[in-house]
Amino acid sequence: MPARKRTPGIVLSGGGMRGAYEAGVVAGVMQVLGRKADDAPLFRVMAGTSVGAINAAFLASRSERGDHGAEELLEFWRSLRLETHAKLRLLGLMRLPKVVTGLFRSGTPSVPPGVSLLDTRELEKLVAKAVDFERIRDNVREGRVNALLIAALHVVSGQTTVFAEIAPGARYVPSTSGMRVARVEPISIDHVLASAAIPLLFPTRRVGERFYCDGGLRFNTPIAPAIRAGADPLLVISVSHRASADELQVLEREHDEAEGMELGPMFLVGKLLNALLLDPVKHDLQVLARLNDLVEVLENTLTEEEYERVQEVLVRTRGTGYRRLQTLVFSPSEDIGRLAGEHLRTVQRADELNPVLERFLARASVEGMSQEADWASYLLFDGGFAERLIDLGRRDALRRADEITAVFAER
């Protein structure tokens, strides 16, 4: 079969403050490849959900640079401050128990518009300052970016919407499954903030006439849209740690100990967010591996004419054929929830928080309980915590320098 043109892409998962880990991995990849500002852009397709949407939009806005402004992205994360970017809304705090109880009873991920724990205005200003959406327009128009794909959840229908900004002449084939809908239009700050609107933490966002919230509720790692935009090879960054057998044993003991504790709203919110933002990337990658194996068998056993007939059927039924895809996947080598708990206790000992925020976060971090530290990790908008995650992401990338070079080095 004829060789295809390489169109490198990146897929970035959602997970609140854990997005700093993604930034660290990207910086590590650029370091390994020795990318410079005057090189051609590495990634041509960017897809993101939730905080991954913010990172993806940032990279797209710097695609006139060969390093996508990776070091600038690190500075964005380092600039976060708890006192400024994690301001609690008293009304949201008062309504929290009722909202959480209702969510558990109804089993639906939707949250009434306007209900949020955090005042997000300063965070929104920071995103608006960091991401130049006019520059994204230019990079897409000039073909430096083939596609920027942002996933968000339509609140009323519960259906995932993939917002897609596509370069002239680039090909994007939306899914025909009915599980997701595509809207091809220029990406704005409203799209990005809608994708990042984690229920309970952030208010839902209006895009046009519709309300949207965090795309991670249904689609936390948008691999399929990136593939449908022609990405290959593909860098996938998840923010979910894969626990070892020993770590799972520790977690089981902690769960047993928690059975005797009084489980208040903060514990329930942590459980709720962990469930809602459950990352199915492992399953998606298993499916992708099986498809790669299937395509290899078809290529090696069918004649060219027979292979084309199979692809024609696939195009007719799903909009596009199957192809082998090279992927490189990163996930944190350490438990980010535990890192969040450790950092939170350090901040509390330093007496750096106002009393209300200190009490709130203290309830979200029980000594030794990684689940509730997981909850804290979503909103620890703190430059010191970001630095720990950046360092972890960079180290994870540098440890796999040979793999990065094999997949993404210029050929």
pLDDT digits (tens, 9 = 90+) for 18-51: 999 999 999 999 999 999 999 999 999 999 999 9
Give the whole-angstrom CA distance, residue 14 versus residue 22: 10
Residue 307: closest CA among 321, 319, 320, 317: 321
Q: How far is CA 48 from CA 45, 221, 237, 364, 375, in A?
A: 10, 7, 10, 27, 21
The residue among 272, 325, 248 whose CA lies nearest residue 102 is 272
Low-confidence ranges of the chain (pLDDT < 50): 1, 92, 104, 106-111, 367-368, 371
pTM, 2 dp: 0.85
What pLDDT is attached to residue 110? Answer: 47
pLDDT in the model for residue 39: 95
Query: What pLDDT does 82 receive?
Result: 78
Q: 109: Cβ–Cβ under 8 A, 6 or more apart, which residues?
A: 103, 153, 158, 199, 213, 217, 276
The matching CATH number, chosen from 1.10.357, 3.40.1090, 3.30.40, 3.40.50, for 9-244+324-336+381-408 is 3.40.1090
Please check whether residue 8 is in contact with residue 327, taking contact to mean a CB–CB distance below 8 angstroms.
Answer: no
Task: Determine the pLDDT at residue 275.
Answer: 63
pLDDT, residue 107, reads 47
Report the pLDDT value the prediction gives residue 250, as an integer from 0 to 100: 59
pLDDT, residue 104, reads 45
Look at residue 243 in the predicted model and tell me its pLDDT.
Answer: 62
Where do the domains of the chain lie?
A: 9-244+324-336+381-408
The C-alpha torsion from 80 through 364 and 213 to 86, rounded to 10°, is: -30
